[in-house]
Structure formats: C-alpha cells, structure tokens
Chain A
C-alpha cells in the first residue's frame, strides 16, 4: 500500500486542533443558572472525553442544540455538520440544520450547499486517516450498484479489456472539479 500525504490545502480541518476543549469551558460560562442541568453534565463529560472520539460522536447533535439556545447558530451548524459526518444522529442534525438556514447569511440554497461541502470535507478528512490516500489493491468488484442517469444499471462487465476509472464527484465539491479536470486530461494523454 502506498500512502501519499494530502496536499496542504486539502487539510482544511485538523481534528487535533478542534477547539472543543476551548469551547466547553466557554460554553459552561455562558450557561445561565437554572439551565437544564443534564446539558451541563453532558458537556462536562464530553470535555473530559475530548480525546475519546467515540464519546463525542454521541454529543455533536446535543452540542448544536445547546449552541442554538445560546444564540450561536454558526457554531450550532458546525456541530450539526460534524454529527452528519461522524455522529450518531445525522437525520436529527440534518433537520435541525435545515431549520437554521433562514436565520443564517446566504439563505437556504447557499447554506444547503455549504453544509453538503462541509460534511464531505469532514468525512474526507476522517476517511483519509482510516484508508489512506492511495491503496494498491487487487480485488474483483463483482456487481456494483452503479446506475446511469436514467436509473438503468451500468454493467461494468461491458468494459472488460479496458481500463476503467470511476471518478466520484459532486457539483458542490470544489476539489472534485479539479479531480475531474485531472481525469479528463489523463484520458486525453
């Protein structure tokens, strides 16, 4: 397996630099007396478990809820993005984020695209840690669930005898557009 480190600009977010530890004391300072004590307890637990990624995965959605209550919609949106990328309540977080869009600059469409890109960015970073950037493998794909734009199954078998590149991309993913251009240039060469 060959591992190639990412380009610096792809490292848009570093888990170890995540300001969770800084966030919690500040958040605790903001919590008014009488605020639901269960939230406080959950936050204290999370701050002790900062290095325990598994513990945090259960809390991103709840963090977002607290941040919303504290009048911090941008921070809440970031927590919901983390939950959608890594957490355990992605559907709840998606619904909560959608409710936030109208109150954020840019409105629904811009924020929807921002969230898609941000969630992808977070997933990419975690996946690169887990999988590595490039792997040399030799695995039979078998039947892949690929469909064309009309919903008809694409039979990869018809490409036997040829090299095939599957380029996974999305129109809202800026690095994807670079990758597509690279793939097109490679095909021409």
Chain B
C-alpha cells in the first residue's frame, strides 16, 4: 500500500507523523501529479493495481456502501491460494 500525500511540502512532516501515530504500515509517497490529474483529481482517491502493474480500479471519494465494493474488487484480483 502506498499512501500518496497531497499535502504541501511544509505539511509533509504532519502527514508522516499521522501515519506513524495511527500505525498504518503504508509507504508514504508524494508527487504522482500526472496520475493524480488523470485518475484522482481530488482526494480521497484510490487506485488499485494488479500483479502485472495494470491499473484495474480508480475510486474517487467515499462510496455509498463503505469499503465493500472496493474490497470486492480486491478479492477478485487476489489469487485463491493467498486468501
């Protein structure tokens, strides 16, 4: 999981502290301007990449039924042996 931070550089330490405080095991990343412009022009946004590195899902905003739809897509892509 990569948490791509849209904060300004001056807010980056705050973002890093937040992830550490919550214990989220994400790789903190910045930039991704081109990706963001195309697929997530606002936050929150999530992109799901499959094992080939292909983009399979783009989600923008919070969805009506919480995380269920996103999780369903993830489960479809996870090989049965690793579930």
Contact = CB atoms under 8 A, between A and B. Distances in A.
Instruction: Say whether A and B bind each other.
Output: yes
Interface of A: 2, 4-7, 10, 120-121, 123-124, 126-128, 131-141, 144-149, 151, 154, 156-157, 159-173, 175-176, 178-187, 189
Interface residues of B, number: 63
B34 A145 contact: yes
A92 B64 CA distance: 36
Nearest to A186: B71
Nearest to B8: A116
Contact of B14 (A5, A139, A171): A171
B23 to A, nearest CB: 8
Given A149-B29, A171-B18, A172-B11, A183 B1 contact: yes
Contact of A124 (B29, B42, B53, B71): B42
Contacts, number: 220
B6 A170 contact: yes
From A121, A131, A160, residue with most partner B Cβ within 10 Å = A131
Contacts of B12: 149
B53 A7 contact: no
A105 to B, nearest CB: 22
A165 B61 contact: no
B6 A124 contact: no
Interface string B48-75: 1111111111111111111101110110
B32 A145 contact: yes
Given A7-B63, A145-B35, A163 B50 contact: yes
Nearest to A9: B62
Given A148-B27, A169-B44, A171-B18, A124 B51 contact: no
A141 B4 contact: no
Nearest to A165: B1
18 contacts: A7-B62, A131-B58, A140-B55, A141-B55, A145-B31, A148-B28, A154-B27, A160-B52, A162-B51, A166-B4, A166-B29, A171-B11, A172-B11, A175-B43, A179-B44, A183-B46, A184-B22, A186-B67
A139 B39 CA distance: 12
B29 A175 contact: no
B3 A167 contact: yes
Given A137-B56, A172-B11, 7 more contacts: A132-B60, A146-B4, A146-B29, A149-B16, A163-B48, A169-B43, A186-B74
